[in-house]
Structure 1
Amino acid sequence: MSTQPLIVVHPEPEVLAHATAGRLIAAVADAQARRGVAHVSLTGGTIGGKTLQAVAASSARDAVDWHRVHLWWSDERFLPAGHADRNATQARRALLDALDLDPATVHEPPASDGPDGDDPDAAAARYAAELAAAAGGAEVPAFDVLLLGMGPDGHVASLFPHHPGLGRDESSVIAVRESPKPPPVRLSFTFGALARARQVWVVASGAEKAGAVARGVAGEDVSSTPAAGVRGTESTLWLVDAAAASELPG
């Protein structure tokens, strides 16, 4: 079952990033204590990158056995491997290159120069199959933490307001074309995949996102604010700075 959102407000972006990093380390260590391994879905964006940098800088990061963490991405720009604009490339620079990771547990979405070439539908199907293989009979793993950034328009992953991708749930991963935010072609989890997460954390910073934060927390129409439709099965956190919280009631 889905959960009601809990809002945590931090005074400014740097505090938000460091607090989220500490929360992530603790959540992953806890998941490993309970289940042996942890599945985490990462996000891109400015505050997502700062959060990963804060994990890299934290003395507590060694509380996690990183060999037993499966890393996924809820969306990715369909660009060549290693491209500077790919979320996975940015995550490697911010954190992953500093960790002792098992390469087999780092599940980067396929790139446009990968085995499927420039066919994003085939690449989406390949990533969906990889998720299913790790899920033990389900379509996707029950992510212990699913981190989501959010745009000023309320989009999460690459699910944009009033975009045809919003209504597609035939698979856990879809190809998104004509994205309103460049680049135009992306891979994205569907709402069905996002809904499998135990904990969903929407991390948002800046006054330009305040309206979308207020609409998302209030559970407004998903077609206009996709972030409103994402809930964790155990908890849903909105981790925001004071500017992003400025239009919340009270």
Structure 2
Amino acid sequence: MSADPRVSIHPDSSVLMAAIAARLITKLVDIQDKHGEATVVLTGGTVGIGTLRAVADSPAAPAVDWSRVNFWWGDERFVAAGDDDRNTGQARLALLSHLAVDPARVHEPGSTDDFGSPEEAASDYARRLRDAAQAEHAADASDDRPDTPGSLPRFDVVLLGVGPDAHVASLFPEQAGIREKNLTVVGVRNSPKPPPERISLTLPAINTATEVWMVVAGEDKAGAVGLALAGANPVQVPAAGPRGLSRTLWLIDENAASRVPEQLVRKESTGS
């Protein structure tokens, strides 16, 4: 059963990113206490990458055993591995290069260096997710999920930004990706936002996460946020679709909150 959304509003984007960073560090410590390791799905964008910088700068960051954190990405641009547009490269500069991570636990989606099409890269990413799920299932006999390996590992926290058009990951309104019901990863072509070719987790894959955190700042996102929280159809408003199994958080700044239904609002100056 998925969780109804809860909204936390912060005064501005800098406070928001610091609050998300503090919340993420605390969450990863708690998860490691329970499972020994933790898995986070990262996002790009201004807030996503800014949050990673805030994590790296936090004096609390050493509380996490970063060598036992698994990193995946919700989407990636299908360009060369060294391209500045890559979410993975930006995440390395902002966070991963500053931490003692285990390279084997950093799972970057494929690039044009290795694959001829976004569909090929998506298929490879889906295979690696299946492999991780099978290894996790075999290693954890106490896992309380159904007794099948499944096609996805446990996603403890999925971070998602939201575009002004309400896209999440690389799932855009009315396109094939947001309509996908069976695959865990899709190749995306003709993205309305450049670059045009991408790789993305699907909505069913995202919604296997224990917690989904929607991280949004800016007045240009207010319409998308309002529609999503009003219960719009995810095909037209993809941001309406993500739901964590135990928690769905909208962590937003005041500029993005102007059209949020009042009954959903919880204003905060710091993360909790």
Distance 2:154 2:179 in 1: 22
| Corresponding residue number in structure 1 for 2:123 | 125
1:190 CA displacement: 0.6
SS of corresponding position for 1:59? coil
Report whether the alignment pairs 1:152 with 2:164.
Answer: yes
Structure 2 partner of 1:202: 214
Aligned CA-pair RMSD: 0.8
* C-alpha distance after superposition, 1:160-191 (max 9, x if no partner): 00112211233211100001110110000011
Identity %: 52
Alpha-carbon separation, structure 2, partners of 1:234 and 1:170: 22
* Residue number in structure 2 paired with 1:61: 61
How many residues get paired?
248
| TM-score, reference length from structure 1 | 0.97
Secondary structure class of the residue paired with 1:109 = coil
In the alignment, which of 177, 184, 204 is matched to residue 192 of structure 1? Answer: 204
Q: Is the 8 A contact 1:139 1:193 kept in 2?
A: no
Distance in 1 between residues matched to 2:55 and 2:216, nearest whole Å: 17
Gaps of at least 5 residues in structure 1 are: none
Once the two structures are superposed, the pairs formed by residues 161-180 of structure 1 within 5 Å of their partners are 161-180=173-192
Contact 2:230 2:261 in 1 (8 A): no
Question: What is the TM-score normalised by the length of structure 2?
Answer: 0.90
Distance 1:101 1:164 in 2: 35
Aligned letter for 1:243? N
Q: Is the contact made by 2:67 and 2:100 (CA closer than 8 Å) also made in structure 1?
A: yes
Matched, 1:240 2:252: yes
Q: 1:233: Cα distance to partner?
A: 0.2
Unaligned runs of 5+ in 2: 138-148, 263-272
Q: How does 1:87-102 map to 2 (within 5 A)?
A: 87-102=87-102
Q: For 1:46-57, list aligned pairs within 5 A.
A: 46-57=46-57
- Relative contact order (C-alpha < 8 Å, sep 6+): which is higher? 2
